[in-house]
Amino acid sequence: MSRKNKKFVLLVTILITVASMIAACGAPQTEPPAATQEPATEAPATEAPTEMPATESPTEAPATGEATEAPGAEGAPFTIGISNPFISSEYRTQMIEELIAVNQEYMDQGITTELVIESADTDVAGQIQQLQNLIAQDVDAILVNPGDVSGLNATLQEALDAGIIVISVDQELDVPGVYNVGIDQKEWAKTSAQWLADKLGGEGDIVQIEGFPGHPANVARMEGVAEVFAEYPGINVLATDTGRWDEATGQQVMSNFLASYPNLDGYWTQDGMAIGALQAVMAANPAQWPQGVGEGRCQYLRLWEEALTLNPEFDSIAVANHPGVSPTGLRIAVNMLQGKQVDESKLGGANDLSFVLPLAAVITSDNLDEGLAMCEGQPDAYLLDDILTEEEVQEFFVQ
């Protein structure tokens, strides 16, 4: 090959190489436009500020949506557990029925789920197990009607540590962090004890029938009764026995007292035992009937009316210890779960953690007719009652 031809071949080779290089470099340039278009079809950058502030990250968007919900809706529906260690009384039966009914109001609104109820006749160890069962089921709040003054404290603390709202209903506990909802049991007992002291003119021989020793309500009540009678040296307490908050047991205890002390001037008792005690007096029909305190239950008021036909001189008092404090406690628990702030200035009790509720009724001979009217259409087992409405419980919360 001539030198000239060699130069020509070399030139052609160089041109082919350069063309190949240009083709290789130019091919990718057709892809970038497609890449810039794909994100635009998913979420244009200019749309983000319409959904959330520029200072918030995209992962915070759900919080913005939650803020638009009704106050207290976050976390709903809530599950509330009930611990009740004593079922052998009409009071506890009415209490459970009312708790279910009030909770149904909230269930209908999607605020709560069905109650988790642990209810049985049991001792302190059994109630501890009840509470542990509720904690294990991850309830949001626990309403406990305690069977002991201090035996549940450690378990209640476990519930508090788990972030569970704990409310003691009917009976006051002095446990930091545990709220109480109920009447002032000590003042409740002092009301009838003072009536008896006045009725006896400050002197006379009496007996006492108490509930379960060690139960917070019974402890508070007996302390109140002792304080009243201590003001009257002429009142002699001949004996005290337990009727275990049971009508039949109360009747037997009272029959024993009447046999042992035939000249008895009066007796102090509480709850369903008062029905049994009056039945014992009516059955014995002594020459001198002892004056006795009663209970704000329809059966007692009707029995009182019947007793007057046997002895027109008989007198009594019935101070309502109403089961409605527990469903009222449920309303308070729901409001707390919804994030409402408790107005601490409205609380009282031993540790300023008690929602102290007024008595539902105090029936004496002056208003016995009114009490009987409250019982119209109600069974004998019905206790004079009051359940605060949703509007009424708001007085305990910061407005």
- Bridging pattern class, strands 362-363 and 116-119: unpaired
pLDDT single digits (tens) 298-336: 999 999 999 999 999 999 999 999 999 999 999 999 999
Q: What one-character-per-residue DSSP string does 130-148 give?
A: HHHHHHHTT-SEEEE--SS
In a domain, 378, yes or no: no
Give yes or no: residues 242 and 131 share one domain.
no
Cα–Cα distances in angstroms (integers) from residue 54 to residues 39, 42, 46, 48, 59, in the given order = 19, 18, 11, 8, 12
In a domain, 212, yes or no: yes
Last residue of a domain, one of 296, 319, 342: 319
Tell me, what's the pLDDT at 286?
A: 96
Give yes or no: residues 233 and 84 share one domain.
no
In a domain, 26, yes or no: no
In a domain, 297, yes or no: yes
Tell me, what's the pLDDT at 54?
A: 35
Last residue of a domain, one of 272, 291, 319: 319
Mean pLDDT check: name the lowest of 46-60, 176-190, 195-209: 46-60
- 155-161, Cβ contacts within 8 angstroms, sequence gap of 24 or more: 155/128, 155/131, 156/131, 158/131, 158/132, 159/131, 159/134, 159/135
Q: What percent of the chain has pLDDT over 90?
A: 80
pLDDT band at 350 (very low <50, low <70, confident <90, very high): confident
Give yes or no: residues 194 and 178 share one domain.
no
Give yes or no: residues 330 and 215 share one domain.
no
Element (H, E) at 114: none
Tell me, what's the pLDDT at 48?
A: 34
Element (H, E) at 237: strand 234-242
Give yes or no: residues 309 and 338 share one domain.
no
Element (H, E) at 218: helix 216-230
Give yes or no: residues 193 and 311 share one domain.
yes
Tell me, what's the pLDDT at 75?
A: 86
Average pLDDT over residues 157-168: 98
Instruction: Note the pTM of the prediction, 2 decimals.
Output: 0.79
Average pLDDT over residues 241-252: 96
Give yes or no: residues 91 and 194 share one domain.
no
Give yes or no: residues 314 and 328 share one domain.
no
In a domain, 64, yes or no: no
Tell me, what's the pLDDT at 89?
A: 87
Give yes or no: residues 191 and 280 share one domain.
yes
Give yes or no: residues 309 and 218 share one domain.
yes
- The domain in which residue 116 lies consists of 80-183+323-358+385-396
pLDDT single digits (tens) 10-38: 344 444 443 444 333 443 343 333 333 33
Last residue of a domain, one of 271, 289, 319: 319
Write down how long the chain is.
Answer: 399
In a domain, 25, yes or no: no
Average pLDDT of the residues of the chain: 86
Residue 241 has pLDDT above 50, yes or no: yes
Residue 222 has pLDDT above 90, yes or no: yes
Q: Which residues contact 142 (CB under 8 A, 6 or more apart)?
A: 80, 81, 82, 83, 131, 134, 135, 159, 164, 165, 166, 167
- The dihedral through the CA atoms of 62, 67, 69, 72 has a sign that is positive
Give yes or no: residues 228 and 154 share one domain.
no
Tell me, what's the pLDDT at 73?
A: 56
Give yes or no: residues 145 and 249 share one domain.
no
- What tokens does 222 get? 């007996």
Tell me, what's the pLDDT at 122?
A: 97
In a domain, 71, yes or no: no
The total number of structural domains in the chain stands at 2
Average pLDDT over residues 210-239: 96
Rounded Cα distance between 210 and 271, Å, is: 9
Rounded Cα distance between 158 and 137, Å, is: 13
In a domain, 66, yes or no: no
Residue located via tokens 């047991």: 249
Average pLDDT over residues 244-273: 97
Residue 238 sits in a domain whose CATH number is 3.40.50.2300
C-beta of residue 304 within 8 angstroms of C-beta of residue 329: no
